[in-house]
Structure 1
Amino acid sequence: MQRTALAPYARLPGEHHDRHVLTSTVDAFGAAHWLLTERAPELVGDVRPFDALVVSVHPHGNVELTELSAVRARWPRLDRLPDGGFVVAAARARRYEDADQVQVFDEFGNESTSFSIGDAVEHMLVDETGHIWAGHFDENPAGIRRWSARGQLRWMADHAGDAGWIMDCYALNVSGAVAWACPYTDFPLLEIRLDRPDRPDRAMKVRTNTVRGAKAVAVHGGRVAFYGGYGDERDRLAYGELTETSVDPTEVALLTLPDGTTPGRRRVVGRGSRIYVQAEPFTAWDVFDLSG
């Protein structure tokens, strides 16, 4: 099988390697962010609010530090807002914590608002307009939803029509005014365009797809690439061509780290033509770019 190596993208500066990486992401504008604490938080019992440091590495290499006060999320998701603030969301929302599940911090690291986007958050991505996309796993039947940064629900997947029931959002890619998703159980490729707010029933195009279990997707022009799968296909990179109604498979490769090894435990983020991959110990992001 052909091997495709990821390209190095962003590195956590060495002076921060002694801290614990709670989570990390790459935002809509290409900056990489790490949410760090002095030590790993206790995961048993109630989580006491704690201070955290966000280390941001921008595409041109400059580094920015933001201290966040009184973070409450266990198993957090992180992304940056266009105004320089941050969103931290708890992947799991216990009933009595609903109002605090999502914390929005201003550019100085102070909490400005909090709200709930629902339990079982697999993906949380902010788009260029500052809207928050949540892709849920199978303990929340909401599937995919889009929220304002103040907590107003703007779109939900019950407008999905031919997509059927979205039981588990395996892959989510948010870039510009478009989101792409690949949900369980039939793994169709969903193209969501919200530039027609007067016609939410026309927001989504559904394409049948034979690739199962992908954890990330990249799209460029008429081409698509799916990353991941079940069992031995964990590191699979499956390419396809888009038609009006389907994804036609073309070729399959093995996606590796820049040194040729496979990633093992990893995080993934899909943004347009790019799939970012972060392997344990989660101090570096590498990238695959379908447009390249």
Structure 2
Amino acid sequence: MTPDRLAPYARLPRAYHDLRLLHSTVDAFGRAHWLLRTPEETPGPYDAMVVTVDDGASYETALSSVTARHPKVDSLPDGGFVVADARSRAGDEQVQVFDALGRPSWTFRVGDAIEHLLTDESGDLWIGYFDEGVFGDDPLSAAGARRWSATGEALWEYRPPPGGDWIADCYALNVDRRVAWVYPYTSFPLVEVRDSRPPRLRTTPVRGASGVAVDGERVAFLGGYRRDRDRVVLASLGEATVDVLSTSRVACADGTPLDRPRQVVSRGPRLYVRDRSSTEWDVLDIGGG
């Protein structure tokens, strides 16, 4: 059974609440990060700060000369960070890699219309694109989901497995230790991606979810269209299908309804959920431990 509320996970310390929140995420190691800058708008590159909360303790990393206007952030295993601009034009090197001291070290391009940016434990970047990138004029985002190295080398791109369609919009992307899961519009299959195997497609009856968690043979889908934003569908992995076991509803950790569009980060058996203007992360964990 699923709980009727998410569990509180991490919050930005109050000392940083006067800064402007640009983006937030939870990384492959379970650390929460907030990308912040001063409220004043300045033209051109700007200085920013990443505040990290790890098991209740917090620390900050100053980033210099950030260029992204619509930034998405994640961490790298060497202590650095990657910041990508979700929207870009041909020729823009919209990904910046920062070292552990916050200094820019690499720039490269990954395509327009980034919906999901998730780094894995090795530091590779997994990116899911929304429809304006898939159907735009940028060939780098046309595949709908791709994997890149932290220096900009293209490592993998989605190609429909047997019985599958091309991605029109990457609704959910789960990046775990050795596997990624892609949940794309329009037919909403669940596609398993492992390094040494061809992608494996399983059909699902679940439409419009914004997050997917996987623990062994167990799966949870969070969200859906309109009145189903608070829906949790528990299912099991079959050979070629995802079979629904139960459907329930869930609220935020403080009891408020989960009825607004929210950011969801899918990491293995966990779904991290944040109101897009909030400084707090909640979690739904289907792990067996």
Using the size of structure 1 for normalisation, the TM-score is 0.92
Instruction: Report percent identity of matched pairs.
Output: 52
Is 1:272 matched up with 2:273?
Answer: no
The alpha-carbon distance between structure 1 residues 161 and 51, as it changes in their structure 2 partners (threshold 3 A), is farther
1:90 to 85, 88, 98: 85
1:81 maps to 2:76: yes
> What amino acid is aligned across from residue 209 of structure 2 in structure 1?
A
For residues 177 and 203 of structure 1, the distance between their equivalents in structure 2, rounded to whole angstroms, comes to: 14
Tell me which amino acid in the other structure corresponds to 1:215. S
**2:262, 2:280 → 1: CA distance?**
10
The alignment's TM-score, normalised by the length of structure 2, stands at 0.92
Whole-angstrom CA distance in 1 between matches of 2:116 and 2:276: 19
More displaced stretch, 32-41 vs 118-127: 32-41
Q: CA deviation at 1:41?
A: 4.4
Report the equivalent of 2:235.
240
Q: Following superposition of structure 1 onto structure 2, how do residues 168-183 of structure 1 map, counting pairs within 5 Å?
A: 168-183=169-184
Aligned to 2:225: 230
Matched, 1:156 2:132: no
What is the alpha-carbon root mean square deviation over aligned residues? 1.5
- 1:254 corresponds to which of 244, 249, 252: 249
Asked if the contact 2:160–2:166 (Cα under 8 Å) also holds between the matched residues in 1, the reply is: no
Please give the alpha-carbon distance, in whole angstroms, between the structure 2 residues aligned to 1:253 and 1:216: 15
Q: Which residue of structure 2 aligns with residue 20 of structure 1?
A: 20
Q: For 2:40 and 2:274, how far apart are their aligned partners in 1? A: 19
1:203 shift after superposition: 2.7
Aligned residues: 278
Q: Does the alignment pair 1:285 with 2:281?
A: yes
Q: Which piece of structure 1 moves more, 180-189 or 155-164?
A: 155-164
1:40 and 1:26 map into 2 onto residues whose CA distance is 26
Q: Which amino acid aligns with 2:58?
A: V
- Please point out which of 65, 73, 97 is paired with 1:70: 65
Which amino acid in 1 is paired with 2:22? Answer: L
Question: 2:100 aligned with 1:107, yes or no?
Answer: yes
- Distance in 2, matches of 1:207 and 1:153, equals 26
Match of 2:147 in 1: 146
The amino acid of 1:149's aligned partner reads A
Contact 1:83–1:107 under 8 Å retained in 2: yes
Aligned counterparts of 1:19 and 1:275: Cα–Cα separation in 2:
26
Separation in structure 2 between the aligned mates of residue 287 and residue 237 of structure 1, nearest angstrom: 13
**8 Å contact from structure 1 (residues 146, 153) kept in 2:** yes
Counterpart of 1:199 in structure 2 is none
CA distance in 1, matches of 2:163, 2:109: 28
